Amino acid sequence: MQAFAFNALLVVVAVCAAALGFAAGRLLGRGRQAAAAETARRSEVVLASALESGLATMKAQQQAMRARADASERLNSEIVQSLSAGLLVVDAAGRVEILNPAAQRILGLAAPGGPTVYTDLLAHDRPLAALIDRCRAARAPIARETIALPREPRPLQLGVTVSPLREGAVEDAAGQEGVICLFSDLTAIVEMEDQLRLKDALARLGELTAGLAHEFRNGLATIHGYARLIDPTAVPPTYRPYVDEIRRETDQLGRVVTNFLAFARPEQLSCTLVPLEAVVRQARAELLPELPPGTTVDIEGTFATIAGDETLLSRVFDNLLRNAAQACQEAGRSPRLVIRGAVDGGSCRVDVDDNGPGIPAADRDRVFRPFVTGRHAGTGLGLAIVQKIALAHDGRVTAGPSPQGGARLSLVFPLPATSTHAGAHALAS
């Protein structure tokens, strides 16, 4: 009985132990699950926080990259807009992508209103379009080539570089590539070089011919003097016209030699500050009585004060007015002359217009050469002297068509320093 009771007690104890173990296991399992759940929840929070931080960083980087791209695009646009050289970019199809303000100013073009082919845009500037054609055909750059575009009163000289757009460029179906064309206005530089060459040529001409012309004048003076000593009444009537003809020819040749000496002799400038309007008005007043009857000379516009020799400048306008009036008279027209002044930047331009027959385009450069004249009684030295005096003042003279239907002779003189003191100082030095 005791053994049975003891065994029953053991069974009860075992059952209780098992129940306690089961209950403890359940309790421990629930703890582990709670801990795992808490760990998972914390991990989710950390991951969400990391993802949010990463997204914010990426968004900030994207905004910074977009800002840098916008700034770079603005900078590129400002560079293109601010270039002093002309920029023309053509895509593979020949459409104009970029025409910067300097290019518009140099070529006198307006910004394209839409897709424009470069051949249409440059229809009046074929030399420039031809360079782009060459670059596209050869697929090779053309560096520092000088071309002349037709303009009035003188051609526009451009220094041009054209290069293919290869890196990142997409060819069209015909295998063509885009090009970039850079060009600068070299007109002033070319004119300066021409002036320097002309000055040098005139100096050499003066040295070679001044002595010879002087000897000719001495001989002509002797012939003319003897012709004057001949008494026409002592000469048979048959020979009297010959004496008169000798006198006329020696007079004419004497004037030619005198003018040529004035042209060939180096000019010694006596520079002061000269108001051009006063010189022009004085030349008109002195010359008007000698011009053909009915001649009108109008003075318009704005004139500047330049550094120059007043006597030589007076000779310039005397020659221009006299030549213009005589050309109109020989064409059977009553001379109507207009002298128009304009101040532009650092120079003063004076145009002398007439209503005569004009100067053919092919002769507009030749008229300034010695002994080239279109008038029967002309010596061909008047405009040559005008050019020489203009060059001595660091200016230039050109010929072109006049709005009145005749010729226009244009003088351009550089202005002195902005103040009278600075101008006087420059003259003294």
SS percent in the chain: helix, strand, coil, step 5 = 55, 20, 25
Q: pLDDT per residue over 231-254, tens digit each?
A: 878 888 888 888 888 888 888 888
Q: What is the biggest distance separating any 2 CA atoms in the chain, rounded to whole angstroms? A: 203
pLDDT of residue 421 exceeding 50, the answer is no
Residue 127 neighbours by CB under 8 Å, 6+ apart: 147, 148, 149
The beta strands (E) that lie in 219-304 are given as 272-275, 296-301
Residue 419 pLDDT: 39
Residue 152 pLDDT: 75
Residue 422 pLDDT: 36
Q: pLDDT per residue over 116-175, tens digit each?
A: 899 999 999 999 999 999 999 888 999 989 999 988 767 899 999 999 986 544 454 455
Residue 381 pLDDT: 74
Residue 298 pLDDT: 95
pLDDT of residue 36 exceeding 50, the answer is yes
Can you tell me the distance from the alpha carbon of 387 to that of 381, in angstroms, rounded to the nearest whole number?
A: 10
Q: pLDDT per residue over 277-298, tens digit each?
A: 999 999 999 999 988 888 999 9
Q: Of 2-6, 66-70, 125-129, 228-232, where does the model show the most confidence?
A: 125-129
Q: What is the mean pLDDT of the segment spanning 172-186?
A: 79
| pLDDT above 70 coverage of the chain, percent | 77
The model's confidence at residue 407, banded by pLDDT at 50, 70 and 90, is very high
Q: What is the mean pLDDT of the segment spanning 369-373?
A: 68
Q: What is the mean pLDDT of the segment spanning 352-372?
A: 84
Residue 364 pLDDT: 83
Q: Phi, psi at residue 412, to the nearest 5°?
A: -130, 125
Q: What is the mean pLDDT of the segment spanning 265-278?
A: 83
What angle separates helix 240-264 from helix 187-229, to the nearest 10 degrees? 150
Least confident of 19-23, 30-34, 371-375: 19-23
Contact criterion met (CB below 8 Å) for 276 and 306? yes
Q: Which residue has the tokens 């001595």?
A: 392
pLDDT of residue 348 exceeding 80, the answer is yes
Give the chain's mean pLDDT.
Answer: 80
Q: From residue 397, give the alpha-carbon distance in Å to each of 215, 267, 331, 381, 410.
A: 31, 17, 24, 14, 5
DSSP labels, 22-45: HHHHHHHHHHHHHHHHHHHHHHHH
Can you tell me the distance from the alpha carbon of 356 to that of 405, in angstroms, rounded to the nearest whole number?
A: 7
